[in-house]
Amino acid sequence: MALLQIAEPGQSTAPHQHRLAVGIDLGTTNSLVATVRSGQASTLADDQDRSILPSVVRYTADKEVVVGHQAQDQAITDPHNTIVSVKRLMGRAVQDLKTLSQHLPYQFVADDSSVPRIKTVAGDFSAVEVSAEILKTLKVRAEKSLGGDLVGAVITVPAYFDDAQRQATKDAARLAGLNVLRLLNEPTAAAVAYGLDSGEEGVVAIYDLGGGTFDVSILRLNKGVFEVLSTGGDSALGGDDFDLAIAEWIMTEAGITELTSSLNRQIISAACSAKESLTELDTVTISLDLDSGKRQLELTKLKFNKLVDSLITKTLTSCRRALRDAGIEKQDIKNIVMVGGSTRVPAVRERVAEFFNTEPLVNIDPDKVVAIGASLQADILAGNNQDGDLLLLDVIPLSLGIETMGGLSEKIIHRNTPIPVTRAQDFTTYKDGQTALAVHVVQGERELVSDCRSLARFELRGIPPMVAGAARIRVTYQVDADGLLSVSSREETSGVEASVVVKPSYGLSDNEIEGMLRDSMDHAEYDMEARKLREEQVEADRVIEAIDAALIADGERLLSAEERQQIDKSRSRLTEVRKAGKAEDIKQAVNELEKTCESYIARRMNQSIHDAMAGHKIDEYISDK
């Protein structure tokens, strides 16, 4: 397996040449920025010595933008203009937000491109613009702390973020005035931090449960090489869902049937505080200010564990799937790295330890470990680390393929292939004289295009007219280090080419990705049969088309009435069998038609030679000795 050397060799680490670079953990609930100083990675704090910046943005009537703690303080009193958990909205369309929107107090509007925008008193803003405000605040903090301009930043994203979500993150960084050195998967960033600090080698599971997303990655660590064997997770599962579970319990216990935006935020805030308190306490008291007066409820740790048990189980299901994808057994896991504030929940740590049969690592602050790992990577990419020999191998979550005749999906890059990667495959034309080729890029594990997800379409035009199968068209798929795909096609004889950078407007949720993977396994046998049928149908169409063209050209001249009748009979049978949809029957009918046409095909070849030699002597075709 080829490894990617991302360290810049020969760079000096002299103080006067030190380039300012940071790692940013752009989280759902909280965000952080970290850097490497004097060889040590640490997070950067604000004026009040707070490293964590709540990922909350508030827009006011006088066009002021408030970010962080001050915005969070107004979340209850001004829920419509205070945006929280915006990461969940990145790269999503309005129709994708139906499930989420019922838990969010915002009013969504769509612009001409169907990008959802949040309506506020200061105007309508997209998730990209809101995220850019968070990144701007972190950028200002970093430049103030470091005393200079940044050369770039490594920004982390969930491993299961698709092309749309990754592109949206890069767009937000550009709006914030940041040069993105690389997008780095959050679990990989955690591995960077733990791998460098502890020097551990072996197979490691990264369990990353944040405020709004869950990721699990299985990595092999060996002498500074971090190879991601598999990834899994859910981009709509996290500590926020723990809060919602408690909130629903609160509403039931308090007899609340109707919610205002203010009451909804009050309940969510109370739920979050209760969750955090139960990390240390066995019982907490929840106080609510209702129209009917004050109401107090008691929540025990035991009850809380029951409320969130199904959510924890969902994360372990993803862990089980990731182990299977990596071909790893539980006993092969040497360490489990816990990442994300939600891993502080004792029930989470207990269930994870029970599942893997080993105690998880928590010696680095789970809130800071991702930002620290990103800063170490940024330091190398900026050229500050002369000994930076860190190698990273991330993987793509779903196979990337192309549509071929018959609606079949031909995989070009298989899932869990390390990135960056380039793969090429040669294709040819289907019909005589074909001068254009439609390239349909798809993503998924199923055999039929109809069961996969369409990513992009483009056309290659200007192919010289040739007989079917003569053209040689090379299609190249390239996935860069950020997980973004570009596809190009080139006809080798003429040099004509076309390409597309795949930037889908909206991506798949992790539930959809997991569903696609599950479907591919559940329908494996059916898919293979369906593919076999389609292939035989395509072959039948090719044979019928070729016979029809031949009969039009010289059927009357070269065939007797009886021979023509036999061919027509075999052709009709093939047409009927093709519609019936049985691969073996189609194959047999194709063979019968070809056998029936054998003498006719031989006569055509002889006639072609005769026509070509008409008016010439045999000597003209014999070379001089």
CB 278 within 8 A of CB 299: yes
Angle at which helices 346-356 and 301-326 cross, to 10°: 40
Q: Which stretches of 44-147 are assigned E, i.e. beta strand?
A: 53-54, 56-59, 65-67, 82-84, 108-110, 116-120, 123-126
Q: Which stretches of 239-386 are assigned E, i.e. beta strand?
A: 283-290, 293-300, 333-339
Closest-CA residue to 41 (of 376, 459, 288, 282): 376
Q: Which two tokens stand for residue 339?
A: 């990442």
Closest-CA residue to 516 (of 456, 448, 421, 417): 448
Query: Torsion angle of alpha carbons 191, 193, 194, 196, nearest 10°?
Result: 110
- 108-110: strand order across its sheet: 108-110, 116-120, 123-126
Question: First-to-last CA distance in the chain?
Answer: 54
Catalytic residue (one of 96, 129, 133, 208): 208
CB 179 within 8 A of CB 170: no
Look up 186 and say whether it is catalytic.
yes
DSSP string, 239-260: HHHHHHHHHHHHHHHHT-----
What count of residues does the chain have? 625
Closest-CA residue to 133 (of 195, 78, 71): 71
- 453-461: strand order across its sheet: 408-413, 400-404, 436-443, 453-461
Spell out a b/e string for 18-56, using b for 16 or more CB atoms within 10 Å of the CB, else e. Answer: bbbbbbbbbbbbbbbbbbbeeeebebbebeeeebbbbbb
CB 27 within 8 A of CB 239: no
Catalytic residue (one of 78, 129, 186, 234): 186
CA angle 244, 245, 249 (to 5 degrees): 110
CB 22 within 8 A of CB 153: yes
CA 147 to the chain's CA centroid: 36
Look up 387 and say whether it is catalytic.
no
CB 309 within 8 A of CB 347: yes
Look up 354 and say whether it is catalytic.
no
Neighbours of 97 (CB within 10 A): 17
Phi and psi dihedrals of 59, rounded to 5?
-110, 130
Question: In angstroms, what CA-CA distances link 6 with 151, 244, 419?
Answer: 17, 42, 12
Look up 585 and say whether it is catalytic.
no
Closest-CA residue to 458 (of 478, 485, 436): 436
Neighbours of 302 (CB within 10 A): 12
Catalytic residue (one of 25, 171, 215, 482): 25
Q: Which two tokens stand for residue 438?
A: 């439609």
Neighbours of 17 (CB within 10 A): 10
Enumerate the active-site residues. Answer: 25, 87, 186, 208
